[in-house]
Amino acid sequence: MRYRVRHRNRYQYGQPVSLCHSHAILLPRDTLNQQVLSARLTILPLIEDVHERQDLFGNRVSQFSIDEVHTELNVLAESEVEVRPTRVDLDRDIAWDDQSVIPAKTRLYCRPSVYVPMGHPEIQRFASEFFAAGRGLLESTNALNEVIFHEFVYDQNFSDLETPVGLVLSEKRGVCQDFAHLMLATLRSKGVACRYVSGYLETDPPPGQPKLMGADASHAWVSVFVPGTGWIDFDPTNGLFPSERHVTLAWGRDYGDVVPLKGLMTGGSQHALEVSVDVTPLE
């Protein structure tokens, strides 16, 4: 499938801002099944000097600063991507506790991170429900993915960024970000290498298919490293394997590594934010 993605961020400030430093991760990256045909960032007030670099994870980070007085900031990311379908072969599984073969660099994804702390006893107990001795990695992860989808309530009013994963587990509710973080914490408590993936969903489903949860904003899911096979994506919010309806933007240890737009400004006082995301098929 070929998509056009438009991700618009609009900040309106109560007071003029005289200086603002920003980092944006809004331009999608290439993946094994995704090719970025074009991508660009438009910033208002007009900024010519946008510096792009790759971070350790290979994400595209755009850096810019605005040192003219402004009361509104618009950042529009537009891209065209080609996504090919993927198929997960659940039979090509390995024992989940066979982690001796995780490459050194990938082991970064086994460690705790800001939004994915370790050592939570409830999460360890929860993990043991899926990762029994002798079970397969894909098999266990898929069961976990299904349970989060079926037993957890998608609730936009429940959580914010500071909501700990322990609470998401005990209350069994949250949004895509919470489900992804909980799934990562569960997997990492068993030593599985896994990462947080940010991206988008096709906004309007093809005829006959249900609209996916989280389609009107940025979405988040999980990718698991399977030794011998590679990275396999899971979407616990929708209980499925992401394929050609998911557009990948970036990945990292957790949300903290892929924040779409960060900024520090002088002035501004109160500010309001509007975000809109459109993912439309081009064929």
Partner 1 sequence: MSDSTTQSIDAAWETLFSALDYDEGNQQARWSEEVERRLKENGLTYQAHTSKHRQNRRGQLDVVPYLMSEPTFEHLARGLSQRMRFFEALLNDIYGERHLLADGSVPADLLFSNPEYLIEAHGLNPQTPWVSFLAHDLVRDKGGQWFVLGQSTRAPAGLGYVLERRLIISRVMGYLLRQMSVKRLSGFFRMLRQFLRSDGRDQDLSILMTPGQSVESYFEHAFLANHLGFTLAEGDDLTVRSNRLMLKTLSGLRPVSGVLRRVIDQNIDPLELNSTSRQGTPGFMDAVRRGGVRMGNVPGSGVIDSPLWMGRLEGLCQKLLGEESILKTLPALWLGDADEREEFESLWPNILVRHASAFPAGESFVVRDLPDAERNILKARISADPSSWVAWQSVDLEKVPVAEGTARRESFAVLRMYTAQSQDQKVDVMPGGLASCNHDASWAQLRPNTPERYKDLWIMGTEPDNQLSMFAEMDAPALGPVDQSMTPSRVADAMFWLGRYVERADGLTRLVREVLAGAIDVRIERQQAALWLLGTQLKIDEINFEDAASEIHQLIFTRTAPGGLDELITAIMRNARATPDYLSDDAWRALVNLEQMIERIGWMKHADAGRLLDQVDSILMQLATFSGLNNDTMSRTFAHRFMNIGRYLERTSKTLTLLNHAFQTLKPQDINHWEFVLEVTDTVMTYRRRYRTRLHPTAILDLLLLDDETPRAIGYLTAHLESLVQALPVQQLGGRKTQLQQLAFRIHAGLQMAQTDDLMTIQGSPKKPLFDILDQQIETLSSLSEAITLAYFSHADVPQQLVKVS
268: left (phi over 0), alpha (psi -120 to 50) or beta: left
CB 149 within 8 A of CB 170: no
CB of 160 to partner 1, least distance (A): 8
CB of 170 to partner 1, least distance (A): 21
Q: Which is nearer to partner 1, 64 or 142 (CB)?
A: 64
Pairing of strands 153-154, 70-83: unpaired
Q: Which is nearer to partner 1, 112 or 281 (CB)?
A: 112
Q: Which is nearer to partner 1, 235 or 257 (CB)?
A: 257
CB of 252 to partner 1, least distance (A): 9
Nearest to 258 by CA among 49, 12, 20, 62: 62
CB of 57 to partner 1, least distance (A): 8
Q: Which is nearer to partner 1, 240 or 261 (CB)?
A: 261
- Cis preceding linkage at 45, omega within 30: yes
Alpha helices in the chain (DSSP H): 121-130, 137-151, 165-171, 176-188
Q: Which is nearer to partner 1, 39 or 217 (CB)?
A: 217
CB of 266 to partner 1, least distance (A): 5
Query: Using CB under 8 A as the criterion, which residues of the chain lie in contact with partner 1 when the complex forms?
Result: 9, 11, 18-19, 21-23, 49, 51, 53-56, 63, 65, 67, 104-105, 107-108, 110-111, 118-119, 160-161, 175, 177, 217-218, 257, 259-268, 271, 273, 275
CB of 60 to partner 1, least distance (A): 13
CB 112 within 8 A of CB 188: yes
CB 281 within 8 A of CB 80: no
Q: Which is nearer to partner 1, 109 or 147 (CB)?
A: 109
Q: Which is nearer to partner 1, 53 or 211 (CB)?
A: 53
37: left (phi over 0), alpha (psi -120 to 50) or beta: alpha
Rounded CA separation 45/34 (Å): 31
Nearest to 184 by CA among 242, 244, 247, 236: 236
Q: Is 255 helix (H, G, I), strand (E, B) or coil?
A: helix
CB of 207 to partner 1, least distance (A): 30
